[in-house]
Amino acid sequence: MRWEDFRQSDNIEDRRGDGPMMAGGGSSGQLGLGAMIVLGLLGYAFGIDPRVLIGGAEMVSQMSHRAQQQQASAPGRPIGAPKDQVGRFVAAVLAENEDVWKDVLPAQTGVRFTPAPVVLFNGATRSACGAARAAMGPFYCPLDKKIYLDTSFFRDMKNKYGGGGDFAYAYVISHEMGHHIQDLLGILPKAQAAQRAAGGARANAISVRIELQADCFAGVWAANANEKWQVIEPGDIEKAIRTAQAIGDDRLQKAAQGYAVPDSFTHGSSAQRVQWLERGLKSGKVADCNTFARPN
């Protein structure tokens, strides 16, 4: 995939240098048992009522927690394109998504495109939707309208799932941008409300349709980007298809437990993910991605 010569988006929030996110009881402003014991011993040693020390420490901890929550839910603080290779790649793919969707979305749907920042992090960070952890994979948070990405997922795609390559990585980023497009179109909040009302297997089925549509929107982006700039090189589509196959629910469940449970699928089977990615790639049209109106 060609990306080195394209502009890089400044809409990147790089948290990879941040310290580790507070976890466990400390994240809510409550002291852990170990901290309380230490403060108790210090109080007895210096003749201070331990309850005073513990109460003061909890107050400080709660103030710190509130500050972290405000930081997590505050408006984005883009700091520009990172300088490392992976960061530059993400910034270039994000820029290509922005440049495609700002034209395609209003032209095809009449809806204005507004950018979604990408938050890069290592290990764990905070989002308005709760904790973001590497094990969760990339995700879009509709509450702060940001895409969260631990770039180690790219390494996992290659080593664990058998996918990989620049276009495959771009597909992953563009899939998350697809959720932002769903949000802008009003599809995502309606679907999530239907999930909450349905519950169980029906909620999972709605989740599958949400994810397959995001796959299709990623294909729409790729089709239009290629028409504009000829970004797709020989072998790119095959790599993206292999990635879509590798992260299908049936493939992942069989690898983990030896069998698949379709009622528990949340992202779609390998065949479904390939089908909808290819549909978007072939048509380049948002209207052809209505997974909610089709039986599959």
At residue 243, the pLDDT reads 80
Give the tokens for residue 29: 């402003």
In this prediction, residues 265-294 reach a mean pLDDT of 92
Whether the Cβ atoms of residue 182 and residue 213 lie closer than 8 Å to each other = yes
Residue 184: closest CA among 273, 286, 263: 286
Whether the Cβ atoms of residue 151 and residue 120 lie closer than 8 Å to each other = yes
Per-residue confidence at 216, pLDDT binned at 50, 70, 90? very high
Q: Which long-range contacts (CB under 8 A, 24 or more apart) does 149-158 make?
A: 149/90, 149/118, 149/119, 149/120, 149/121, 149/173, 149/176, 150/120, 150/121, 150/122, 150/123, 151/16, 151/86, 151/87, 151/90, 151/120, 152/122, 154/86, 157/243, 157/246, 157/247
Residue 68: closest CA among 104, 18, 135: 18
| Least reliable range by pLDDT among 1-15, 37-51, 115-129, 256-270 | 37-51
Per-residue confidence at 19, pLDDT binned at 50, 70, 90? low
In this prediction, residues 176-199 reach a mean pLDDT of 96
Q: Where are the domains of the chain?
A: 24-73, 84-293
Name the DSSP letter for residue 260.
-
Sequence-distant (≥ 6) Cβ neighbours of residue 183 within 8 angstroms:
140, 142, 145, 189
Residue with tokens 């048509």: 283
Phi–psi pair at 133, nearest 5 degrees = -130, 150
**pLDDT greater than 60 at residue 93:** yes
d(CA 189, CA 197): 12
Per-residue confidence at 96, pLDDT binned at 50, 70, 90? very high
At residue 57, the pLDDT reads 53
At residue 2, the pLDDT reads 82
Q: What percent of the chain has a predicted confidence (pLDDT) above 90?
A: 53
**pLDDT greater than 80 at residue 79:** no
At residue 55, the pLDDT reads 59
d(CA 222, CA 3): 12
Residue with tokens 């349905």: 198
Give the tokens for residue 283: 């048509």
What pTM, to 2 d.p., does this model score?
A: 0.79
**pLDDT tens digits, residue range 21-69?**
544 333 444 444 544 454 455 555 555 555 555 555 555 444 444 444 4
**pLDDT greater than 80 at residue 171:** yes
Whether the Cβ atoms of residue 221 and residue 141 lie closer than 8 Å to each other = no
Greatest mean pLDDT among 78-82, 234-238, 251-255 lies in 234-238
d(CA 124, CA 110): 37
